[in-house]
Structure 1
């Protein structure tokens, strides 16, 4: 049976690989004209790496990324106020969480597709439900019929708009800058992600190759993202530690990606009889937990597993039952973290930081242990 995937991002490509492993021959339709490496950095946490190990990709990804030993939240002086020791999960699962360039991850995924048809320059225009599937119409004038359709087309999903037109995108009123640059991090910061929390803003950096780092900066706005200009980024973070200024100034201005932080307000259903949503199309989250891509990777493996057991729409219901609770928990928790991290009142910030300091690291590990555990045992 043909399975059609809308979107050749991390979710779509991982889904295609997982389906191939189970005997399917997927078709992917991607709006971009070419599948060139894009994006900045990404963290593949333990749950994502468990999936990729099961798909036989762990070694390739490790050779293209940098293993992480810790996730740190710091105050505006770069003093750690909360730490997660990722070596605990390394020992538990016998694998590493890694930082990797999104483009490198994309290359690895593309290299591991053997039987999937990929159709670039196919931007979905609309879809019409038929007796046994959907007719898909594209902006290039082409149309195809699909009996099983997977919407992996991101937060502004055309598939979701057709299935559930009343879904709502939430604006967090935070602007995010992302960059990649050549930079020699001091040895004390290597193999760690450090996120600095200030007043209404934050800055993070992590090494993802021998000579490059990925960083992001986030700032709250009152009415419009136009309140800020990217060419003043160093000014906005001038009170941060000197390394922040050094990183910003080492980055070519025209390579910085700027986005408004948004998520999808949780919806109650992800599928109908012939179509199913995945990844950001189903449960787009703000990136405050580093779990957006990781949750989509879990989606990919779980849905492929369900389709292997039930090659019809019952698989969609089984997938939703397995994945929805956890995915929505990530969405809601990430939203709250984004708000708390941007407090502006000095008294509130002092209280927040003192609470983070006294939370036992073991409690952080217990919470992450639930997050990193896959919903079902997969073969």
Structure 2
């Protein structure tokens, strides 16, 4: 006899990919939840996401694999290129299917975002909910928002990004209790700036590589300058790109 799922209510702060993915899993499991998003509207931003077979099993179990494959390209080869565009080598990625049962796939973050949204009931996502505070009580957890509303749950999950209000609330509480680890007061060893984006639809006659059935990945590694550029071909004749600064220089300094 199947065990009954205990009744509980989960509050998820943040309507990004992490919050939406958790909400979708709770939806499938029959667990009540509410997503509180700070922005007045959902804005799918970003560039590329790559997933391999170890993760795609999860999407198959959730019944999402077919939808995910519709917005993605299977990964073909990774090309390693110097900053003067001299090719250093290639890594074949097609063998992943033989090893894991799935191709590694690449897709645009906005496309993935929209796919997740389509599987979550609109009533489960509340917009314009900027969290001011969170507190633990004997009955659970309470979050209070800038619009005067308050929400009670059994579990609170902070999925609200780099400048997480939930993490700030936890940091304040732990600091008052003297429970913060020493590392939290130390400066970061290095920082990283990243510029990401997706091109508009390009002319495949000018860029023939866009016609390839498989996704071609390029890593342009800077040595004389602190930049690395990542490029991936995508559906609809687009290129997904990201440019990283500082992190590459840190690695070169460490490993030559």
TM-score band (shorter)? Answer: 0.7 to 0.9
Equivalent residue number for residue 118 of structure 1 = 125
User: 2:55 & 2:40 partners in 1: Cα distance?
Assistant: 28
Partner of 2:22: 15
CA shift, 1:79, in A, is 4.1
Q: Name 1:339's counterpart in structure 2.
A: 250
TM-score normalised by length of structure 2 = 0.79
Quote how far apart the aligned CAs of 1:39 are: 2.5
Match of 1:197 in 2: 221
Matching of residue 216 in structure 1 with residue 127 in structure 2: no
User: Greater helix share, 1 or 2?
Assistant: 1
Using the alignment, how far apart are the partners of 2:112 and 2:21 within structure 1? 10
| Structure 2 unmatched ranges of 5 or more | 1-7, 173-179
| Alpha carbons 1:5, 1:12 under 8 Å: kept | yes
- C-alpha distance in 1 between matches for 2:253 and 2:208: 29
Go from structure 1 to structure 2 and tell me whether the alpha carbon gap of 1:178 and 1:196 turns closer, same or farther (over 3 Å shift). same
Which structure has more strand as a fraction of its residues?
Answer: 2
Shift of 1:42: 2.2
Shift in CA distance, 174/37, structure 1 to aligned 2, threshold 3 Å = closer
TM-score, normalization: structure 1? 0.55
Instruction: Measure, in 1, the Cα distance between the counterparts of 2:249 and 2:106.
Output: 21
- Whether the aligned pair in 2 keeps the contact of 1:20 and 1:116 (CA below 8 Å) is no
Gaps of at least 5 residues in structure 1 are 221-334, 353-379
Runs of 4+ in 1 over 6 A off after TM superposition: none
Looking at structure 2, the residues matched to 82 and 56 of structure 1 have their Cα atoms a distance apart, in angstroms, of 37
Query: Contact 2:53 / 2:101 at 8 angstroms: preserved in 1?
Result: no
Question: Any idea what SS the aligned residue of 1:106 has?
Answer: helix
Between the aligned partners of 1:148 and 1:6, the Cα distance in structure 2 is: 11
Residue equivalent to 1:73 = 80
Q: Name 2:48's counterpart in structure 1.
A: 41
> For the residues of structure 2 that align with 1:66 and 1:152, how far apart are their CA atoms?
27
Determine the C-alpha separation between the residues in 2 that align with 1:161 and 1:52.
Answer: 32
Give 1:85-124 correspondences, 5 Å limit: 85-114=92-121, 117-124=124-131
Describe the superposition over 1:265-286 as per-residue Cα deviations: whole angstroms up to 9, x where unpaired.
Answer: xxxxxxxxxxxxxxxxxxxxxx
Cα distance, 1:102–1:132 mapped onto 2, change above 3 Å: same
User: Corresponding residue for 2:171?
Assistant: 164
1:140 aligns with 2:166: no
- 2:175 corresponds in structure 1 to none
Change (3 A) 1:64 1:29: same
Contact 2:74–2:215 (CA under 8 A) maintained in structure 1? yes
Please say if residues 75 and 216 of structure 2, whose CA atoms lie closer than 8 Å, have aligned partners that are also in contact: yes
CA contact 1:26–1:115 (8 Å) conserved in 2: no
Kindly state the Cα deviation for residue 196 of structure 1 after the two structures are TM-superposed: 0.8
1:154 to 151, 158, 161: 161
Q: How many residues align?
A: 230
Max Rg structure: 2
Residue 180 (structure 1) aligns with:
198
CA deviations on 1:199-248 (whole Å, 9 max, x unpaired) are 2211121112131111122233xxxxxxxxxxxxxxxxxxxxxxxxxxxx
